[in-house]
Structure 1
Amino acid sequence: MTARSLARWVWFDIPMGTVLPEEFLFRGIVDEVATALVGPDAALVAGSVAFGVWHWPGSNRSVPVVVVTTAAGALFVLARRRTGTLLAPMALHWATNAAGAVAATWWSRRVRD
């Protein structure tokens, strides 16, 4: 991957293609609706598990990836609830995905060389 394509991935594709839609869906809608229906504790669990399962197909059906993504989903919910805004989970989500993109690129270059 070139530096330019990595930059596009980190600064455009991740925020626009992943972070914004997933945060609006899971923290903006799912958590709000689930909280109203079943209360905040059950909504935290349900929304986090839904977020983890959402990543099942893209993870090559990796249970560890789904577990980590579920935990990240819980962290993102708590960040939104604590701050009252979607900006906090968006920033955490972007930072997590961007760090993963940079690390994966670094690792693939290291293995290739």
Structure 2
Amino acid sequence: MIGILVTLTISWILLYLIEKRSILSLGFLPLIKRLKQFVIGFLITAVLCIGVQSLEALLTSSHLFLNKKLNASLLLSMFWWDFKSVLTEELIFRGALLYILLRRFGSEKGIVVSAVAFGIYHWFSFGIFGNIIPMLFVFIGTGLMGYAWALAFSKTHSIFMPIGLHLGWNFTFNTIFSKGPLGDGLLVSSGGNMISDWFSLISLWGVPITVLLIVKYLVRLDNGELKETQLSRRYSLWR
């Protein structure tokens, strides 16, 4: 939690020093509208993750069953871990820095820079730096996803949909299907046969491409930036 507060503070300082804006410029208002965008983003990637994991279970003939050891406290703690990690990454990659890039260099260049940075970051977070082939595969997959989420920020003028898109995948993957670093979550897999490693490209490349197409063609461009910027200034600590 301290890390999030530090990231928020640094973001606020950067926005003020470079753009003379407050943290609200990242699209926190109007709140109801932003929460709707968050939920839409969450559902998009959650449904995609459920589809990929269900297909994998079908192809491997594995069985999914409820984790009897799971309780409400553990489920909430796993969700909180997912939320904290997602929010931290979003504030770094789709927060103040992306906002400044979009303002200074335009949407196309800003989105590309954000996507490249996100892809490179995952070389280190996945621990694959130095392994050329995995680096290439991960860079393309995470870079495409970073591009889709940055595009969502650019079109909605808000960090809320990117957070929803990111959390929808991570929570479903890590906590619902127990595939992440948190251990057994809601569903646990048993048995099953091995399938080709190429199947992993469905989630690594196929999902980002699908999300990108959804954001590009189905998410409406928000033309209310001026009005919301004025609203954010109204509630800024620096008036």
Q: Does 1:13 align with 2:86?
A: no
- Following the alignment from structure 1 to structure 2, what is the Cα–Cα distance between the partners of residues 52 and 6? 29
What is the SS of the residue equivalent to 1:55?
helix
Give structure 1 stretches of 5+ with no counterpart: none
Match of 1:53 among 114, 120, 124: 120
- CA shift in 2, pair 1:56/1:85, >3 Å: same
TM-fit CA distance, 1:6: 5.3
Aligned length: 110
Conserved? CA contact 2:115–2:144, under 8 Å: yes
Identify the residue that residue 99 of structure 1 maps to in structure 2: 172
Match of 1:22 among 57, 74, 89: 89
Letter in 2 for 1:70: G
Q: Does 1:71 align with 2:144?
A: yes
Query: What RMSD, in angstroms, separates the aligned Cα atoms of the two structures?
Result: 2.6
What is the SS of the residue equivalent to 1:23?
helix
TM-fit CA distance, 1:22: 1.3
TM-fit CA distance, 1:76: 0.8
- Following the alignment from structure 1 to structure 2, what is the Cα–Cα distance between the partners of residues 59 and 108? 23
Percent identical: 24
Q: Higher Cα Rg: structure 1 or 2? A: 2
Higher helix residue share: 1
Give structure 2 stretches of 5+ with no counterpart: 1-66, 129-133, 193-239
State the Cα deviation string for residues 29-81 of structure 1 (Å, max 9, x = none): 22122223332211111111101111211213132233211111111111112
Letter in 1 for 2:121: W
Identify the residue that residue 82 of structure 1 maps to in structure 2: 155
Conserved? CA contact 2:82–2:170, under 8 Å: yes
Q: TM-score under structure 1 normalisation?
A: 0.79
Greater shift, 95-104 or 44-53, is seen at 95-104
- CA shift in 2, pair 1:111/1:57, >3 Å: farther
Higher RCO (CA < 8 A, seq sep 6+): 2
